[in-house]
A and B are shown apart, each in its own frame.
Chain A
């Protein structure tokens, strides 16, 4: 009973100020508030796409892939080249997914397989890889900013109530993230491979003992996780733009999202992405020079009350 009272007090402590702020902001300037809300949801969708792969890989292999941001940027650049040459945005998305997935697969098969259980060494390798990849991409693509042309169907703007105009593409990103999120959940919950992955997250040794080729499961997971980052690269690159340094930005976002949401949990990643995306956009709209502080405060609060993240399992 005391626990529920404590929880109620916590909810009041955190939800109260947010509710008060929302009421004030809606009364003060409703279009700005709802526009920021939608922007926040769009950003949260992007963060979810990037972070879900990160959390999947970590949950199964205990591999903190700090080259995840580089995979995002690689997918974006490859997608841009394909999109430029074929003129098809959908092909660009597919190319982004495939290129990052193939690189992820190669990394798992040729490097990480040989250092299983050495968490720190794997992490150091991913750091080295991220430096090398970032510099190679800077070499190949230079410091310019690249942008995509999405198909006409999802280009332009949509008229919505309260907010007069909102870019259609951002609504599409939101929709895509929801579809991919549900797809990922279905894959993990309903299919046989998904079952193996979930079993591996809980107990790798037991999964191997029951006759499953764990290396194959690892490779598939790494490919999907990396591929999601590459796909997010094209989708996110279309919503914003691609330039060197984006890898760091999305790496930080993925880190904070999974720290807040809990490692290895796709649901946790979606909750974390929502919190961080909304906090960032509202921070930018209402307190521009301190927007990073909000992200940071959310992380600190989450760590203080739930050290393993909101959806994390107790160690």
Chain B
């Protein structure tokens, strides 16, 4: 290794030390709320207590708004805007977790979701009984989630062999290859047409294809995913992952298995994306190669970047903006030019506010509030 490389490595180690150290005390500081309890085997009650200690009024306000939303909004808004945003947001959340906390920006998250969606179609029931096996929905869902998680882990295993910018290329190649495979192959994926009439289940006499029940299923999944990510990034695994993001060499020399952590992160994000994918296929009622094409893959990236990858909630904010633009921007401009609008918005965000809308909000707030930022600052009406 040359002297210049050493110097560079040392410098990056010095700069990376700050964020790594900053996350460590944060974990330690909360330990007193659960004295004596190990991080690995946390009793349920103290976990809840820790959760309760972190809840702020703004969390309750958002949750209350999300729960009240379907009773105030029309079925169109509940289903097309609300439920779709939640499902897309969940897939984008998987990218936020992987990219924001793991430093690996994968374009294959929609592909993982698509694998789960195709799983539902192939193992469950659809309009194409020659391929669909017609198994009960819960079995099909279990198999699909497992298959998609394994697929994500394999993609991860492939892409962690190289680093940084290569990740985006390899995951892009994997995703586009899957799209072409789904389009060409008629024996398993039913080619261009895909599958339709994929029904969401009917359970306890509730039809989950109805807007309001489906919205609550999506909300439950999204909330679970959000809490899982919030929990994981504070858990030892997540802290180690962030350490690896900041300085893989230092983490390796500390004895952490860098690649194992990365592949595990791919698997976790794969599960999140798979749940989102199952919701998407139930929402649409159909799946075809168009669900996993390049535009959709990039759409997930746009959502995550639009909201801001620094915080899990950014994925959902991005999804709401994206879905609103998809549904209404086309009325303001020319109907077919949605891609131009969304591409332009994305370009503007990337060029002028790399931290997305959350970054924009933080910048705005720090400009409006002189002095230290209070965490309980009231929202602007």
What are 29 A-B pairs at a CB distance below 8 A?
A: A62-B165, A64-B165, A111-B351, A120-B105, A123-B165, A125-B351, A127-B298, A127-B346, A129-B347, A131-B339, A131-B340, A132-B339, A135-B340, A136-B340, A248-B293, A252-B172, A252-B180, A255-B173, A255-B176, A259-B173, A289-B185, A289-B186, A292-B177, A296-B181, A299-B173, A299-B177, A303-B158, A303-B162, A304-B161
Interface size on B, residues (CB 8 A): 41
The number of residue pairs between A and B whose CB atoms lie closer than 8 Å in the complex comes to 109
Tell me, rounded to whole Å, the shortest Cβ–Cβ distance linking B299 to chain A: 9
Most buried by B among A120, A121, A129: A120
Residue A74 lies at the interface, judged by CB distance under 8 Å to chain B: no
Contacts of B180 in A (CB 8 A): 252, 292
A interface residue numbers (CB < 8 A to B): 62, 64, 66, 111, 119-121, 123-125, 127-129, 131-132, 134-136, 138-139, 205, 248, 251-252, 255-256, 258-259, 263, 288-293, 295-296, 299-300, 303-304, 307-308, 315
Q: Which of A128, A252, A289 contacts B346 (CB 8 A)?
A: A128
Q: Which of B161, B174, B293, B351 contacts A307 (CB 8 A)?
A: B161
Contacts of B177 in A (CB 8 A): 252, 256, 292-293, 295-296, 299
Tell me, rounded to whole Å, the shortest Cβ–Cβ distance linking A215 to chain B: 19
Residue B168 lies at the interface, judged by CB distance under 8 Å to chain A: yes
Contacts of A259 in B (CB 8 A): 166, 169-170, 173
Pairwise interchain contact A303-B350, C-beta atoms closer than 8 A: no
Residue B344 lies at the interface, judged by CB distance under 8 Å to chain A: yes
Contacts of B186 in A (CB 8 A): 289
Given A128-B347, A131-B343, A139-B340: A66 and B172 interface contact (C-beta under 8 Å)? yes
Nearest B residue to A295 via CB reads: B177
Contacts of B168 in A (CB 8 A): 64, 120, 123
Pairwise interchain contact B294-A248, C-beta atoms closer than 8 A: yes
Residue B301 lies at the interface, judged by CB distance under 8 Å to chain A: yes
Q: In whole angstroms, how far apart are the Cα atoms of A66 and B297 in the complex?
A: 13
Contacts of A136 in B (CB 8 A): 340
Pairwise interchain contact A134-B339, C-beta atoms closer than 8 A: yes
Q: In whole angstroms, how far apart are the Cα atoms of A210 and B177 in the complex?
A: 44
Q: In whole angstroms, how far apart are the Cα atoms of A135 and B336 in the complex?
A: 9
Contacts of B161 in A (CB 8 A): 303-304, 307
Contacts of A300 in B (CB 8 A): 158
Contacts of B184 in A (CB 8 A): 288-292
Question: Quick one: CB contact mask for B308-346 with A, threshold 8 Å, 1 for yes?
Answer: 000000000000000000000000000011011011101
Q: Which of B163, B169, B294 contacts A64 (CB 8 A)?
A: B169
Pairwise interchain contact B343-A132, C-beta atoms closer than 8 A: yes
Nearest A residue to B159 via CB reads: A303
Contacts of A124 in B (CB 8 A): 301, 305, 346, 350
Q: In whole angstroms, how far apart are the Cα atoms of A248 and B180 in the complex?
A: 11
Q: In whole angstroms, how far apart are the Cα atoms of A66 and B158 in the complex?
A: 20
Nearest A residue to B346 via CB reads: A128
Q: In whole angstroms, how far apart are the Cα atoms of A78 and B177 in the complex?
A: 29
Nearest B residue to A263 via CB reads: B166
Contacts of A119 in B (CB 8 A): 164-165
Q: In whole angstroms, how far apart are the Cα atoms of A259 and B177 in the complex?
A: 14
A120-B168, A127-B346, A259-B166 known; 12 new pairs, CB 8 Å cut-off, are A64-B165, A121-B350, A124-B301, A125-B351, A129-B347, A132-B343, A290-B181, A293-B177, A296-B177, A299-B170, A299-B173, A308-B162
Residue B4 lies at the interface, judged by CB distance under 8 Å to chain A: yes
Residue B285 lies at the interface, judged by CB distance under 8 Å to chain A: no
Q: In whole angstroms, how far apart are the Cα atoms of A74 and B174 in the complex?
A: 25
Contacts of A128 in B (CB 8 A): 343-344, 346-347, 350
